């Protein structure tokens, strides 16, 4: 039968995702169905149902849809539960690639950190996501699919979402996959999509200045976070090669532009590395860079796995924060994932991909929940 994978290992034919398609796009796929069917299918997809679960559609329609389509291209493969209730989700995609996301419960709601690319082109010195370069961009349905899958897995519905806040801070550089990320934002905020408020979404960029301006001009009002990591070009270029293309002046200029055009305060992310970017000179220079502009600095203690760079102590991070505060600079230390290898961006995907390759795993669609101790911790 067409599209049927068998135990003998017949390859399943490539299917397309329905999630995130507009009503008109869906209607074109089911021309003989009644006019309201497309709206129903779109809503079912956002509710996390698979095609079999779209029970108000006729059996024949479901069977024919299943030949060429899946609802969500993202499947939950494993869930790692931390002691504090955070969960790291490992997802598999239709082509067997793996991506990861982190679910973080808070008093005010729950945040999901999603990936926007498989791997990354930025090659930041301390980041596991870029260690092997870019594998491919995620399609917008694959970004959306992470939210839909976790929302359903965490017991949420479309009306009462378990995922209330979204941060684009997982693997990848969101502005390097601009069109898919914009379509993702449109669908996740759509009234007939997941209806998440733009104010509850943050996008983190390594500082692609021209795209930051384009994003500001697009009229979307999500929170923009910019990874700064050093206020000095020479040092920033060592940590973030992208600085050779867009230096600090270009990045801060684009951040000011973003504020001016959206009215949204820009957040600078600053991964603290002991003896590298935590000097008094750095604090002084940060004050200068953020002058006259409502910026906030989010200090993150380095997760040092895989590099020779050193993580500062919690006290040292606090001291740096207080130094900035004393100079009138808004800064806080962010709770960050611990030193365990699974904690930082991209590391879980790399390890499990290597394991799967070693085991020659044939199926990536197993949903297991590993509750045996935490695979990652929060500081
Ligand atoms: N590409 C985007 C978003 C992904 S990373 C960006 O660069 O902003 C999200 C944040 O985590 C970035 O600030 C990144 O520099 C930081 N990060 C990555 N690996 C880290 C590590 N090992 N320790 C601390 N912060 C890290």
Reported as a single tens digit per residue, the pLDDT across 46-95 is 999 999 999 999 999 999 999 999 999 999 999 998 888 889 999 999 99
Does the pLDDT at position 2 exceed 50? no
**Which atom of ligand 1 is the closest one to the Cα of 176?**
1
At 305 the pLDDT is 74
- Residues in a beta bridge with 268: 226, 297
Has residue 119 got a pLDDT over 50?
A: yes
In whole angstroms, what is the distance from residue 72 CA to residue 74 CA?
5
Output the pLDDT for position 124.
Answer: 94
**Cα 91 to Cα 273: distance, rounded to the nearest angstrom:** 30
Among 103-107, 167-171, 189-193, 369-373, the range scoring the smallest mean pLDDT is 369-373
Query: Looking at ligand 1, which residue's alpha carbon is closest to its atom 2?
Result: 205
Average pLDDT over residues 150-172: 94
Please choose, from the candidates 231, 222, 298, 296, the residue with its C-alpha nearest in 3D space to the C-alpha of residue 266. 296
% of residues, the chain, pLDDT over 70: 85
DSSP state, 74?
A: E
Give the Cβ contact number of residue 4 at 10 Å: 10
Strand partners, 369: 79
Q: What is the pLDDT of residue 1?
A: 38
Query: How far apart are the C-alpha atoms of 371 and 243, rounded to whole Å?
Result: 41
Distance (angstroms) between ligand 1 centre and the Cα of 345 equals: 7
Mutation probe of ligand 1 site: the residue of 100, 115, 227 with most atoms within 8 A of C-beta: 227
Give the pLDDT band of residue 362 (cuts 50, 70, 90): very low
Please report the DSSP string for 235-253 in residue order: HHHHH-GGGGTS-HHHHHH
Cα distance between residue 185 and residue 114, in whole Å: 12
Instruction: Please state which of the ranges 64-73, 80-89, 199-208, 249-258 shows the lowest mean pLDDT.
Output: 80-89
Radius of gyration (C-alpha) of the chain in whole angstroms: 22
For residue 136 the two structure tokens come to 């491919």
Q: Are strands 368-370 and 74-81 parallel, antiparallel or unpaired?
A: parallel
* Contacts of 14 by beta carbon, 8 Å cutoff, 6+ apart: 94, 95
Ligand 1 center–CA 127 separation, angstroms: 6
| 247 and 234 Cβ atoms separated by less than 8 Å | no
Instruction: Name the residue among 136, 116, 99 with its Cα closest to residue 206.
Output: 116
Residue 42 DSSP code = H
Q: Which residue lies with its CA nearest to atom 5 of ligand 1?
A: 169
Rounded distance from Cα 225 to ligand 1 centre (Å): 11
Concerning whether 342 is annotated as a catalytic residue, the answer is no
Cα torsion 162, 218, 142, 299: sign: negative
Segment 278-307 mean pLDDT: 92
Q: How far apart are CA 55 and CA 108, in angstroms?
A: 34
Q: Is the CB of 189 under 6 A from ligand 1?
A: no
Q: What is the rounded distance in angstroms from the CA atom of residue 345 to the CA atom of residue 159?
A: 30
Give, as one character, the DSSP assignment of residue 176: G
pLDDT of residue 335: 73
Among 187, 118, 113, 195, which Cα is nearest to 378's? 113
Which residue among 45, 100, 187, 282 is the active-site one? 100
């Amino acid at each position: 039968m067409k599209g049927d994978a068998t135990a003998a290992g017949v390859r399943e034919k490539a299917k397309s995702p329905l999630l995130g398609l507009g009503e008109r796009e869906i209607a074109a796929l089911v021309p003989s169905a009644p006019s309201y069917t497309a709206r129903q299918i779109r809503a079912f997809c956002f509710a996390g149902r698979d095609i079999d679960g779209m029970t108000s559609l006729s059996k024949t329609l479901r069977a024919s849809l299943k030949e060429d389509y899946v609802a969500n291209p993202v499947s939950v493969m494993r869930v790692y539960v931390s002691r504090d209730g955070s969960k790291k989700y490992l997802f598999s995609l239709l082509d067997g690639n793996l991506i990861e996301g982190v679910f973080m419960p808070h008093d005010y709601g729950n945040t999901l950190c999603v990936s926007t690319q498989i791997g990354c082109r930025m090659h930041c010195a301390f980041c596991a996501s870029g260690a092997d370069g870019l594998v491919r961009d995620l399609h917008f349905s694959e970004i959306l699919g992470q939210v839909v899958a976790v929302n359903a897995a965490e017991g949420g519905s479309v009306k009462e979402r378990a995922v209330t806040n979204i941060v684009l801070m997982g693997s990848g550089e969101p502005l390097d996959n601009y069109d898919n990320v914009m379509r993702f934002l449109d669908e996740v905020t759509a009234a007939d999509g997941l209806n998440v408020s733009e104010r509850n979404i943050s996008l983190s960029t390594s500082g692609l200045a021209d795209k930051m301006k384009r994003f500001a001009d697009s009229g979307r009002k999500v929170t923009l976070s910019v990874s700064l990591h050093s206020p000095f070009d020479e040092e920033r270029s060592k940590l973030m090669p992208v600085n050779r293309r867009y230096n600090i002046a270009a990045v801060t200029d684009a951040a000011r532009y973003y504020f001016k055009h959206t009215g949204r305060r820009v957040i600078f992310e600053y991964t603290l590395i002991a003896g590298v970017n935590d000097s008094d000179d750095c604090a002084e220079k940060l004050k200068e860079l953020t002058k006259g502009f409502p910026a906030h600095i989010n200090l993150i203690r380095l997760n040092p796995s895989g590099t020779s760079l050193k993580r500062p102590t919690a006290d040292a991070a606090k001291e740096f924060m207080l130094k900035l505060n004393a100079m009138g600079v808004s800064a806080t230390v962010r709770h960050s994932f611990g030193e365990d290898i699974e904690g930082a961006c991209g590391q879980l995907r790399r390890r499990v991909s290597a394991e799967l390759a070693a085991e020659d795993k044939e199926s990536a669609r197993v949903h297991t929940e590993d509750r045996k101790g935490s695979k990652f911790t929060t500081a």
